[in-house]
Structure 1
Amino acid sequence: MFGCIWQYVYTTFLRYWLKWLIRQATGTCELQRICSGYKPGASMTTRAEYSLKSSKSQVLRGSLDTNTENLEQCVDQIMRAKSIQPQKNPQFKGTLHTCLLQITGYSSLYTSVEDLRKVVFSSENPDHEAMLLKLWDHLMPGAKLESRITKQWGDIGFQGDDPKTDFRGMGLLGLINLVFFSENYTAEARQVLSHANHPEFGYSYAIVGINLTEMAYSLLRSGALKPHFYNTVQGRPELKHFHQLYCYLVYEFDKFWVSEKPESIMQFNQYREQFHEVVKTLLRSPDVSLKLDSNSN
């Protein structure tokens, strides 16, 4: 209770006067101090984002919703609003521009991911079907599908004879993630599939993969992935960066599952939540960078 009261008092009254006093003493505004005092990445961008969001200036708050095409103009407006002279602060404009690219890019990325999630897999769509067959070819190069609807799909972890029913929760996003992993990390994907098909400690590869798409999506939606993307992408994060994060989750979950050796697949939800907590703990570090490293296995 006391913490909530203090937070309200600080953000409503004390923070403004503290910023004013420091500006009088240093001759620099909070954004200038952030852009010059912290290393590029999450340490800088998260503070810049909070500063902009907490500002009483509509110009500064509005910058968080600016389109990419208007970012340079937006930075100029911020500099005028804060009386920042380019000649005396030559690095500030470029640094703030990068921060805003990352901040607004994260919002755009979420929109793109959400759009894919809402696309329903359709067996009538040749592009959807082509992706599904590509997944099979990458994972099972030595086996030919007997038909489009077959029990063979169970060999790569689908529940029924027709995989389309398994994509209902995450839509086309689930399939795109599975294909991206198998196409860009083929050796790793086949290794994970071999673990998933273990007679004692195995799990349903495709179903778990789609479940991990949901995990990546929920982390993105909550904002938990901001430090990761701010540290790993020097600009606007794109869909490929989200897919790469997904690949990390699949590969690391497999390592986690194998090391834990669950007694039964019925314990999946328990171990999934444990792994989820591990990832969320990693994401609380300002230096976090979740990249797939197959050499560490």
Structure 2
Amino acid sequence: MSSSTLRRRLYHGDVDGRRNEQMDTFGSDGLDEPLLGSYGDRSKVYDSREEEDWDIRKKEEQHWTFLFSTLIAQWAQWLANILTESSSVFGRLLPFSTQSQIYLSPLQEERLSILKERLQVPFDGSRVEHQDALRQLWRLAFPDTAIPPLKSESWKDMGWQGTDPSTDFRGGGYVSLENLIYFAQNYPDSFQKLLHKQEGVRAEWEYPFAVAGVNISFMLIQMLDLQSSMPSSQAGIRFLELLAEDENAFDKLYCVAFRLMDAQWLLKRASYMEFNEVLKAVRTQLERELALEDVTHVRDLPSYTMLYR
């Protein structure tokens, strides 16, 4: 028994745990077997050169990892700089970007060019054609009244702020006078109703008719983005489609805007100091109507019908 280890195995069938005992004998050498296989030859001699080679390889790997990480970081920063650039620069670097391009037909280009030329003309009271245009507007507004001198208190009856109308064209330019003339010639009933404030309960301090017209021209120019090289606003892009169908689209839209302004004025029961607020509401309404899918002409705008009421 000295050369082996005895282990007692109990069979649970024995009541007292002692009957039918079996003595299993395992050699002492069996306990020395490794649980996970051989560890290899432990008698191998240690070689310091292998550790030096391993250190060199590790340093090289760390060096290349650092260079690669630096390159990735620089590339990411470069890409971030591109993404934060202005849209024009981004478009040049990425020519296949999702920026939509506006393509005009030759007819659209011609009509847009003519309109832009009109917008560049300031009102000049010393020019004979501008003086004649003012007189023409007076005849359309007051056909039964003699034309007053170009500087007269009578011009206030049309809604100019002073005795000299030329001082009120600063924002709208000569095109605003053309708009008023077009309104009077093509929609005379609406023109006269607004000029003489014939509809609704009016405020004690009403908006001046002619000056309001100049402001409406200026508002439309801004809304349609006509001072830029190419309109980029949604309303401006849609207007280009209307211009393709009608060379007078801007003048007609002006008439709609004027009629809509008076309707908003009455709806809000506004007075003189609230004119800018009313004009903002007009712009918002026009932008909504221009966004409608079935609008291909100015006459398709819902507010256009007010010109004939």
Conservation of the 8 A alpha-carbon contact between 1:106 and 1:237:
no
- Find the partner of 2:211 among 182, 199, 207: 207
8 Å contact 1:174–1:210 — kept in the other structure? yes
Give the unaligned 5+ runs of structure 2. Answer: 1-82, 85-89, 226-230
Q: Determine which of 280, 290, 307 is the counterpart of 1:273.
A: 280
Residue 252 of structure 2 corresponds to which residue in structure 1?
Answer: 244
Amino acid at match of 1:226: I
Deviations 1:136-191 (A, max 9, x none): 11111222234221011111111111111111222111111111111111111011
Sort the Cα spacing of 1:255 and 1:201 in 2 relative to 1 into closer, same or farther, 3 A. Answer: farther
Q: CA deviation at 1:119?
A: 1.4
Q: Which residue of 1 aligns with 2:183?
A: 181
Kindly indicate whether the alpha-carbon contact (under 8 Å) linking 1:158 and 1:206 is maintained by their aligned counterparts in 2.
yes
% of aligned pairs identical? 24
Q: 2: CA distance between counterparts of 1:116 and 1:163?
A: 19
Q: Distance in 2 between matches of 1:135 and 1:13?
A: 51
- Greater relative contact order (Cα < 8 A, sep 6+): 1
1:33-182 paired onto structure 2 within 5 Å: 50=100, 53=101, 64=103, 100-101=104-105, 105-182=107-184
Q: What is aligned with 1:191?
A: 193
Matched residue type, 1:241: A
After superposition, the Cα gap between the structure-2 partners of 1:13 and 1:135, relative to the gap in structure 1 and judged at 3 Å, is closer
Partner of 1:293: 305
Contact 1:196 / 1:204 at 8 angstroms: preserved in 2?
Answer: no
Deviation string for 1:5-38 (max 9, x for gaps)? 9xx9xxx79999xxxxxxxxxxxxxxxxxxxxxx
Alignment of 1:227 with 2:238, yes or no, is yes
Q: Which has the larger radius of gyration?
A: 2
SS in 2 for 1:293: helix
Amino acid aligned to 2:251:
H
Instruction: Specify the code of the residue in structure 2 equivalent to 1:272.
Output: L
Letter in 2 for 1:282: E
Q: Which amino acid counterpart does residue 279 of structure 1 have in structure 2?
A: L
Distance in 2 (CA, whole Å) between partners of 1:296 and 1:178 is 17
Q: Which runs of 5 or more structure 1 residues have no equivalent in the other structure?
A: 17-48, 54-60, 65-99
CA distance in 2, matches of 1:295, 1:208: 17
How many corresponding residue pairs? 209
For 2:144, the aligned partner's letter is: G
For 2:308 and 2:173, the matched residues in 1 are separated by 32
Deviation at 1:236, TM superposition (A): 5.8
Post-superposition shift, 1:229?
5.0
1:269 Cα deviation after fit: 1.0
Question: Does structure 2 retain, via aligned residues, the 8 Å contact 1:175–1:210?
Answer: yes
How far 1:267 moved relative to its partner? 0.9
Change (3 A) 1:121 1:276: same
> Would the alpha carbon gap of residues 135 and 154 (structure 1) be closer, same or farther in structure 2, given more than 3 Å must change?
same
What is the RMSD of the two structures over their aligned residues, measured on CA atoms?
Answer: 3.4
Higher helix share: 1
Shift in CA distance, 108/236, structure 1 to aligned 2, threshold 3 Å? farther
Contact 1:113 1:173 in 2 (8 A): no
**Could you tell me how far 1:122 is from its partner in structure 2?**
2.0
